[in-house]
Amino acid sequence: MMETPSYAGRWIDLHTHRLDGPPSTWALPSLEPEQFDEASAAPRAVSLGLHPWRLAEGWPRRFAELARLAASPRVWAIGECGLDKARGPELATQLEALEGQALLAERLGKPLVLHCVRAYAELLSLRLRLRPRQAWLLHGFSSSPEMAKALAASGFLLGFGHMALRPGKARASFALAPAAALALETDDRADLDLLQLYAQLAPLRGLEPEELRALVEDNARRFFGHAGG
CA 146, distance to chain mean position in Å, is: 20
Q: 154-195 pLDDT, tens per residue?
A: 999 999 999 999 999 999 999 999 999 999 999 999 999 999
Q: 35-72 pLDDT, tens per residue?
A: 999 998 888 999 999 999 999 888 999 999 999 999 99
Domain ranges, ordered by start, for the chain = 11-224
Single-letter code of the amino acid located at 143:
S
Task: Round to whole Å and give the CA distance between 8 and 218.
Answer: 9
Q: Return the pLDDT at 227.
A: 66
Single-letter code of the amino acid located at 94:
Q
- Per-residue confidence at 22, pLDDT binned at 50, 70, 90? confident
* CA triple 80-86-89, angle to 5 deg: 70
Of residues 137, 187, 189, the one with CA closest to residue 30: 187
Task: Round to whole Å and give the CA distance between 97 and 63.
Answer: 8
DSSP code of residue 107:
H
Q: Return the pLDDT at 1.
A: 32
Are 66 and 54 contacting, i.e. CB atoms less than 8 angstroms apart?
no
- Per-residue confidence at 3, pLDDT binned at 50, 70, 90? low
Are 95 and 129 contacting, i.e. CB atoms less than 8 angstroms apart?
no
Q: Could you tell me which CATH number the domain at 11-224 has?
A: 3.20.20.140
Report whether pLDDT(210) > 80: yes
Report whether pLDDT(2) > 50: no
Q: 109-142 pLDDT, tens per residue?
A: 999 999 999 999 999 999 999 999 999 999 999 9
- Per-residue confidence at 11, pLDDT binned at 50, 70, 90? very high
